[in-house]
Amino acid sequence: MSDLITPFALGLDMPQGDPSAHGVKGANLMTMAQLDLPVPPGFVISTALGRDVSDGADELPKDALEAISAAISTMEENLQQGFGTGEKPLLLSVRSGAAISMPGMMDTVLNLGFNDVVADCVAKITGDERFAWDTYRRFIASFAQVVLECDPYDFEDMLDDLRVAANVETDAELPTERLREAVERSFAIVEATSGEPFPQDVHQQLRLALLAVFRSWNTDRAKRYRELQNLDDTGGTAAIVQAMVFGNRNSESCTGVYFTRNPSTGDATPYGEWLPNAQGEDVVSGMRTPCELTEVGRDLSMSSQPSFEAAQPSLYKELLGIGAQLERHFLDMQEIEFTVESGTLYMLQTRTGKRTPKAALAVAVGLVEDGIISRSDALSRCSDDELSALQVAKVEVSKAAKPLAKGLPASPGAVTGAIALTSEDAVAMAAQGEDAILVRAETDPRDVHGMHAAIGILTSRGGMTSHAAVVARSMAKACITAALDVAIDIDARRFTIGDHSFAAGDIITIDGATGQVYAGPQPLVRPKADGALAKLLEWRDGNDG
C-alpha cells in the first residue's frame, strides 16, 4: 500500500502530483505546496482505492485503514494536535478529487472530528463559544447529508426557523444560544432519519466519510454529469484529507472563490466572490448570496456590501500575486478557492477555471498577449466549430420591452423559453421539443439533468461562483443568478416579480450577458465577430503562430 497515501505540506519532499492517481484537486494541492504557497497540510488517498470502494465495497480494506491511521498520527505529531482529543483537537476536511474536474458533483465533509467533548474544548481554547457551536452544527449537517443521506432542506428549514426566532437574516448573525439549539435539533433530524444517534467516535466519522466520498463517484448525478460531458466513467475519485482552516473563525476570517480572469467574458481582470465569517460551502452552494471580490464587481452589481479588495487590501494583493503565479505555472486561467483564518490566507484548491465558449477565446488571446502561451497554443484550444458557434445571441434592447428584474450575469447568451420550475419539468418539456428555462431558488448537483435539458437557467439566489453559474458556463447555457426580485412559490407552481405573476409554462426571455429578465418573447440579435474572436480568426487564416 506504499502508493496508497501521499502526504503534502510546505517543505515536505513529495512526488509530482499525478491527476490519474491523486485527482486534479490532490495533484494541484501537492503542486501548490511545492511552490511554497500557503496550503494546509494533509494527505491524498489514491484513486485506486476509490475505484475499489466505488465498485461496491462496504468497508475500507484493513491495510488501507492502517495506512490512514498512520497518516493521521503523522499529522497529529507535526501539528501538535490530537484527533478526537480534548486538547488542541485536529479537525479535518474530507473531499473528493477525480482525474477530471467535476465541479459540485461529488461529496465533501467539512469540520470532521467534532463531538460533544471537542466542541466544549474548542469553545474553551478559543474563548469563543459561538465559533465552536457554529462549526459543530455545520459538521453535523455536512456529515448527515453526505454520509447518512439526510435531506439538506431539513437543515435549511431548521435554520430558517432559528433565523426567524432570532430576528436575523443570516446564519452569521445567529447568537450562541440559537447555534446550540441548531446542534440539538440537528441531532434530532439525524436520529429521525437514520434511526441512530449521531456518531461521537471521530475515527468512525472519518471511516464513514471516506466511504461516502469514494462512493459519490457512482451517484446518479455524477454518472449523469460524466455522460453529459463525455467523460471517462472508470477512473474513480481520490480522497483528500486535510487540516481544517476556518473562514468562520471571527470577523477577520472569510472564504471565497477567485478566478484569475473573468469566466463569462475572458477579460484579464480579477473576478470572484467572498463571504466574511463563513465557510466555502456557503459560497458555492448558492444558499447565500456572496459579496463581490473586487471594487469593480461591487460597482457593477450595485452591491451595498464591501468587496474583499476594500475590506482586506493586503490579503487581496497577496491573493492576486498567487493567482498570477499559478496561471503562469499551469498555463491557463485558474479558479482558486481560498480561506482566511484570523487574517492569514490559505489556498484550498486551484483548477483550470470553467468558462463560457466566448470567454475561452478571450482567455486564449489574453494568455498570448501576456506571453504565457503561443499563438499556435491558443489556436489549438479553439476548434473551428467552437469559433463559428461563439456569436451568442443578445436581447436587442432598442426594440425590447422594459426588463422586469435584474440579477447577476452568470453566463452570456439570450434565450426565450417556457418556465420550468423543476428539473423534471425541464427534461419533460425538452423531450416534447419545447424550449425550457429552468427557474429555481438555487440549483444543486441533483439538477444537472434539468440544466442540461433547459436552454437557460434563472435563480433567485446564489452568485457568480455558485453551482448554477459554474455548471451553466461549462454547458454554455445562458444563466442569471441572484435575481432577488424573483419570488418562487414551488407549491403553487408559479413565481412573482413585483406585481407580475408567472406560471409554469409561461414564456420569458433572459439575457445572461446583462442579467435582465423579460416577460414574453423579445427580439434577439447575433453580433458580428469582433474582439478575441476576430483576432483568433486572423491568426488562424494567417497561420503565423
Q: Kindly report, residue by residue over 245-286, the tens digit of the pLDDT.
A: 999 999 999 999 999 999 988 999 999 999 999 998 888 776
Residue range(s) of every CATH 3.50.30.10 domain in the chain: 394-525
The chain-wide mean pLDDT, for the chain, equals 92
pLDDT at 407 exceeding the cut of 70 = yes
Separation of alpha carbons 443 and 462, rounded Å: 9
Cell for 8? 503534502
The CATH class for the domain spanning 394-525 reads: alpha beta
Q: With 50 as the cut, is the pLDDT of residue 177 above it?
A: yes
Read off the DSSP letter of residue 89.
Answer: B
Question: Do 205 and 199 touch, CB atoms closer than 8 A?
Answer: yes
- What's the whole-number mean pLDDT along residues 175-181? 97
Amino acid at 144: A
Min mean pLDDT across 48-57, 207-216, 327-336, 354-363 is at: 48-57
In the prediction, which pLDDT does 545 show? 45
Kindly tell me if the per-residue pLDDT of 308 is higher than 90: yes
- Name the least confident of 7-21, 75-89, 387-401, 502-516: 387-401
Q: How does 22-45 read in b/e, with b if 16+ C-beta sit within 10 Å?
A: bbbbbbbbbbbbbeebbbbbbbbb
Residue 401 near residue 518 (C-beta atoms within 8 A): yes
In the DSSP assignment, the letter for residue 171 is G
Phi, then psi, of 341 in degrees rounded to 5: -115, 115
Q: Which of 77-81, 277-281, 535-539 has the largest mean confidence?
A: 77-81
Amino acid sitting at position 159: L
**Secondary structure of residue 501 in the 3-state scheme:** strand
CATH 3.30.1490.20 in the chain: give the residue spans: 1-99+217-244
Convert 91-145 into a string of H (helix), E (strand) and C (coil): CEEEEEEECCCCCCCCCEEEEECCCHHHHHHHHHHHCCHHHHHHHHHHHHHHHHH
Judged by DSSP in three states, 449 sits in: helix
Residue 150 in 3-state DSSP? coil
pLDDT at 464: 86
Q: How does pLDDT run across 7-36, given as a tens digit for each residue?
A: 999 999 999 999 999 999 999 999 999 999
In the predicted model, is pLDDT for residue 528 greater than 80? no
Q: Which of 207-216, 227-236, 283-292, 519-528 has the lowest mean pLDDT?
A: 283-292
Q: Name the segment(s) of the chain with CATH classification 1.20.80.30.
A: 116-200
Q: What percent of the chain has pLDDT over 90?
A: 77
pLDDT of residue 385: 57
Query: Stretch 229-245: mean pLDDT, rounded?
Result: 92
pLDDT at 358: 82
In this prediction, residues 495-523 reach a mean pLDDT of 96
Q: Give the pLDDT mean for 185-196.
A: 96
Angle (nearest 5°) at CA 264 between 261 and 267: 40
Type of residue at 297: G
| Cβ-Cβ contacts under 8 Å for 108 (sequence gap 6 or more) | 93, 94, 95, 96, 142, 146, 213, 281
Q: Per the structure block, which three cell numbers stand in for 316?
A: 487581496
The pLDDT assigned to 312 comes to: 97
Pick the closest to residue 105 from 221, 229, 208 (CA basis). Answer: 221
- Picking from 451, 452, 454, the residue whose alpha carbon sits closest to that of residue 429 is 454
Radius of gyration of the chain (CA): 23
Question: Where residue 382 falls among pLDDT bands split at 50, 70, 90?
Answer: confident
What CATH number labels 254-355?
3.30.470.20
Report pTM.
Answer: 0.82
Domain spanning 116-200 has what CATH number?
Answer: 1.20.80.30
Q: What distance in Å separates the CA atoms of residue 522 and residue 94, rounded to the nearest whole number? A: 47
**Does 331 have pLDDT greater than 50?**
yes
* CA 202 – CA 91 distance, rounded (Å): 10
Domain with CATH 3.30.470.20 in the chain: 254-355
CA angle at 290 for the pair 149 and 271, rounded to the nearest 5°:
115
H-only helix segments in 289-338: 295-301, 308-311, 313-330
What pLDDT is attached to residue 1? Answer: 43
| Cβ density class 461-471: b for 16+ within 10 Å, e for less | bbbbbbbbbbb
pLDDT digits (tens, 9 = 90+) for 458-494: 999 988 888 899 899 888 899 999 999 999 999 999 9
More confident residue, 91 or 264: 91
pLDDT for residue 542: 77
Q: Flag whether pLDDT at 408 surpasses 90.
A: yes
Helix (H, G, I), strand (E, B) or coil at 525: strand
Give the separation between CA 185 and CA 179, rounded to whole angstroms: 10
Weakest mean pLDDT among 216-220, 364-368, 485-489, 530-534: 530-534
Protein fold of 1-99+217-244: Dna Ligase; domain 1 (3.30.1490)
Confidence of residue 384 (pLDDT cuts 50, 70, 90): low
